[in-house]
Homo-oligomer: A and B are copies of this chain.
Amino acid sequence: MARTETVEGPRSRAAKTQRRTRIQREKHEQILEAALDVFSRQGFRGATIDQIAESAGLSKPNLLYYFRTKEAMHRELIDRLLDTWLDPLHALNKEGDPVAEIKSYIRRKLELARDYPRESRLFANEILQGAPHIGEELEDLKALVDEKAEVIRGWSKAGKLRKCDPHHLFFAIWSTTQHYADFDAQVRAVLGDVGQGEGRFEDAARFLDQLFIHGLKP
């Protein structure tokens, strides 16, 4: 899924031989962590290298020693993201019980939204702007989705699931779960700041379970 790894980093012997020094490994992660923070809040164009550098506790030229461009940081973040992001979909098991499988898929997606909201927003930003940096990856996504859509269709045909358009089912699951990460500001405003964090996600999980289960049981 990840794009052909072009090793990013300093033009040094260690880098060229792929063997990274301790400092390189540490700073590399440190920078990506800061970059994720900034990109997910500001979007690609809105983020500045200075912001990321400051958030990472480095000077700008120092940061640019590890990542030669802003794009380089963004690209590596997106690459990493996609791998973990599609994991739950990969796990959808043709042999399992349909309703239980979908329930568990929803749960996993919701957990991702809870535990990795920055990644979710990073992705949302990218798609919102028309996915300018991930054309290639979206094709891989299509292949995976088409495959899993067939699984759903199979379950429907076997009478184990109400008949429905599998692609739109996926859209509904993605949107409802990611909503809690991407539109967090709105969710918090509407729910009020009472009953934070923990209970919120439990309520969401209960609601989505009910909605999809009753909506899908034959």
A residues adjacent to B (C-beta < 8 A): 41-46, 121, 124-125, 127-131, 138-139, 141-142, 145, 162, 164-165, 167-172, 174-176, 178-180, 182-183, 185-187, 189-192, 203-204, 206-208, 210-217
Query: Whole-angstrom distance from the CB of A59 to the nearest CB of chain B?
Result: 23
Contact B121 A172 (CB under 8 A): no
- CB-CB < 8 A to A190: which residues of B? 138, 141-142, 145, 167, 170-171
Query: Pick the contact of A138 from B162, B189, B206, B207 — CB < 8 Å?
Result: B189
- Which residues of B have CB within 8 Å of A189? 131, 138-139, 141-142
Would you call A208 and B172 a contact (CB within 8 A)? Answer: yes
Contact A183 B215 (CB under 8 A): no
B169 touches A207 (CB 8 A): yes
Complex Cα distance, B193 from A139, in Å, reads 12
In angstroms, Cα B183 to Cα A207, docked, is 23
Min Cβ gap A156→B in Å is: 12
Q: How many whole Å from A108's CB to the nearest CB in chain B?
A: 17
Q: Are A43 and B45 in contact (CB under 8 A)?
A: yes
Across the interface, do B175 and A214 meet the contact criterion of CB distance under 8 Å? no
With A142-B189, A162-B214 as contacts: A41 and B121 at CB distance below 8 Å: no
A211 and B165 form a contact (CB under 8 A):
no
Shortest CB-to-CB span from A1 to chain B, Å, is 14
Q: How far is the CA of A198 from the CA of B121 in the complex (A)?
A: 29
Are B186 and A127 within 8 A (Cβ)? yes
Interface-centre pick from A129, A189, A204 (highest chain B CB count, 10 A): A189
